[in-house]
């Protein structure tokens, strides 16, 4: 269970950072990355607090209703995950992708490949000039 939660956390952080870098203005990126890590830490604190509260309530259930600690953890993760998914759906419904200065049709992969192609050609021509001079 911990491995699955860790993999999910990894995918969440990576996609969140990629989204911030793609959509946020450059002057706000560091603030938003800090805010992302702050919210992630607060989520971990909330999860620990909720688990502690459920541990007290489930102590009775474990002793009298034969629930295990794993089932209480799974229930809490399910409730928080479902709440987060519902909040995501609500926010994603109204989100509009940010357009950057009317240049949204630029193929960035082409631009990067063209830059490196020119760089390689300059390097090769400089190498050829150097070899011809010797």
pTM for this model (two decimals): 0.47
pLDDT tens track, the chain, 134 positions? 678 877 888 888 888 888 888 888 888 888 888 888 888 888 777 777 777 777 766 666 556 555 555 666 667 777 777 787 788 788 777 777 666 555 555 566 777 788 888 988 998 888 888 888 76
CA 89 to CA 77: how far, in whole Å? Answer: 18
CA 96 to CA 83: how far, in whole Å? Answer: 22
């Amino acid at each position: 269970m911990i491995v699955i939660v860790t993999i999910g956390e990894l995918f969440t952080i990576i996609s969140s950072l990629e989204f911030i870098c793609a959509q946020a203005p450059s002057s706000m990126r560091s603030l938003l990355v800090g805010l992302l890590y702050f919210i992630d830490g607060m989520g971990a604190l909330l999860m620990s607090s909720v688990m502690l509260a459920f541990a007290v309530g489930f102590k009775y259930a474990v002793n009298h209703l034969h629930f295990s600690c794993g089932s209480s953890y799974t229930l809490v993760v399910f409730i928080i995950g479902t709440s987060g998914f519902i909040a995501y759906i609500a926010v994603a419904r109204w989100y509009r992708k940010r357009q950057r200065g009317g240049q949204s049709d630029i193929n960035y992969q082409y631009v990067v490949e063209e830059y490196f192609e020119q760089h390689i050609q300059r390097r090769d021509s400089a190498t050829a000039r150097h070899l011809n001079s010797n």
